[in-house]
Chain A
Amino acid sequence: QKEVEQDPGPLSVPEGAIVSLNCTYSNSAFQYFMWYRQYSRKGPELLMYTYSSGNKEDGRFTAQVDKSSKYISLFIRDSQPSDSATYLCAMSEWQGKLIFGQGTELSVKP
């Protein structure tokens, strides 16, 4: 079993839809959770960072962490074609060593 599981998609939604992206994990020691956005042939860009459980909101993006279920989510409201990218979850139990999900490819259609 992989430490971090993420549905690779692809996920296609119409513009304006609410997008839900998810990851599950097996290591209960993970405390630091991140979401990255990666455009084709580019380096990943940090979107959201959350410590332990709870929610964090930044503009159209909301990150949720449920440590009891070992489940994290990223919600994108009012999705735009510019949101089309691959979204990677990542998590860590100590500073530096991130474990990444496989990434979910998202396409937002105008």
Chain B
Amino acid sequence: SQTIHQWPATLVQPVGSPLSLECTVEGTSNPNLYWYRQAAGRGLQLLFYSVGIGQISSEVPQNLSASRPQDRQFILSSKKLLLSDSGFYLCAWSYVIQDSYEQYFGPGTRLTVT
């Protein structure tokens, strides 16, 4: 079965500090990978998605970036955090199979920028 991991689970960082969040998927190969952010009381906003190693598409202009150094690893980064970067960050994966569009989410990382 497939499993998705995210770490850390919670993080408190000062404004201006760097960020690195990691996501890994087990039990599948060549998945599509996604980063979402969920602000308090709001829906999910897609930040980045990747269909393969080194292939990243950005949905929202911001001071965040994403990388996919390995097939099942997805990293979200920032060089300098802003207060507005606080939120719940979720990684998701989906099968690359025709007509399969379900996405499965990880446990999330709760980021507080102080």
Residues of A within 8 A of B (CB): 4, 6, 8, 32, 34, 36, 41-46, 49, 51, 88, 90, 92, 95-98, 100-103
Contact among A34, A43, A103 with B43 in the assembled complex (CB-CB below 8 Å): A103
* B interface, size bucket: 20 to 34
Beta-carbon contact of A96 and B43 below 8 Å: no
A51 to B102 Cα, complex, angstroms: 10
Residues of B within 8 A of A (CB): 32, 34, 41-46, 49, 51, 59, 88, 90, 94, 99-108, 110
- Could you tell me the dominant secondary structure of chain B's interface residues? strand
Beta-carbon contact of A102 and B43 below 8 Å: yes
A41 to chain B: which residues have CB within 8 Å? 88, 108, 110
The closest CB in chain B to the CB of A101 belongs to B43
Q: A96-B49, A97-B49, A100-B44 are in contact. Are A49 and B90 (CB under 8 A)?
A: no
A102 to B43 Cα, complex, angstroms: 4
Cross-chain pairs A/B with CB under 8 angstroms, 15 sampled: A4-B43, A8-B41, A34-B101, A43-B90, A44-B90, A49-B101, A88-B43, A90-B44, A90-B103, A96-B49, A96-B94, A97-B46, A100-B45, A102-B43, A103-B42
